[in-house]
A = this chain, B = another copy of it.
C-alpha cells in the first residue's frame, strides 16, 4: 500500500499519476482539508501536520509515503525521513532532477506557494546538482484559490498568470517547474502563456510517480512485500462540495472521499 498525503485534494494529481503509471498498486490517500492550505503557514506548523499525516497513513497500512504537497515536502521531508523507517518520496527531488536534465539555456523557473518558494528548496537542490544553473522563482499564492474556485479557464486566471509569469519570461527561462500539485490543472493555460515551443513544463506529479516506479523496479525485495487489500482509499479531514468537484476534475470520474 502506497500512502500519499497532501494539504487538500491537489495531491490527487500525484495519486492520478501513480494510478496511471502503476495501476496494480493500492493507494491510500490522506487530504488534510480541515487545515488546508499549508502554503501560507509557518514551517513549524507544516512539520507538525506532516508528522500527523504520516502517522495516520502508517497506521492504516501504508508501506511507503509520498509527500504530495510541495509546501510539506520543502520543509518536512528530512524530518520525516529521520523520524520514520518507511521509504519517503516527495515531489521536489524528482522535479529537480528532470529540470536539470531538461534545461539547455541553464535558466530554470520555479513557481509555487509562498511557503515553498520562501524555503528556497528548489534553488538549493538545483544548485547542488549543478552550481552553474540559474534559478528564478516566483510565489503564486492566488493560483490554488483560483483552481479551487474552478476558474480553470477564466480571463481573470489568465491575467493573474500573466502577472506572475512575466518576470520569469523576462529571464529567458527554457524550463519551468510547476512546484505545487494544484498547478497541473492549469498546465494548458500556463503552457499557452509561456509559449509552447519556448519553455518546457515540469509536472512534479508525473516525475514522482516515475521515481516511485524506478524505486520499485530496483528494489524487488521491497516491491514483493507490498500489500493489496482492496480498492484505493481516499481519506480527508473535512469534506466540502468544492473538494469533491476538484477531485472529480483531477480524476475525470467521481471519487468517494471518506471523512476521518
Contacts and interface: CB of A to CB of B under 8 A. Distances in A.
A155 interface: yes
A194 B42 CA distance: 37
A114 B242 contact: yes
A34 B45 contact: yes
Contacts of A106: none
A78 to B, nearest CB: 21
Contact of A148 (B141, B149, B240): B141
Interface in A128-156: 141-142, 144-146, 148-149, 151, 155-156
A163 interface: yes
Interface in A153-204: 155-156, 159-160, 163
Contacts of A19: none
Contacts of A145: 141-142, 144-145
Contacts of A142: 142, 145-146, 149, 151
A119 interface: no
Contacts of A44: 238
A233 interface: no
Contacts of A155: 159
A35 interface: yes
B40 A34 contact: no
The quantity of this chain's copies bound in the complex is 2
Nearest to A36: B40
Contacts of A40: 36, 148, 240, 242
A42 B239 contact: yes
A41 interface: yes
Interface string A74-114: 00000000000000000000000000000000000000001
12 contacts: A33-B41, A34-B41, A35-B35, A40-B240, A42-B238, A44-B238, A45-B237, A114-B240, A114-B242, A144-B145, A155-B159, A159-B159
Report the 8 A-B pairs with minimum CB-CB distance, sorted nearest first. Answer: A145-B145, A45-B238, A34-B45, A35-B35, A42-B238, A156-B160, A41-B238, A156-B159
Given A41-B238, A142-B149, A156-B163, 16 more contacts: A35-B35, A36-B40, A40-B148, A42-B238, A44-B238, A45-B238, A114-B242, A141-B145, A141-B148, A142-B142, A142-B145, A142-B146, A144-B145, A156-B156, A156-B159, A159-B159
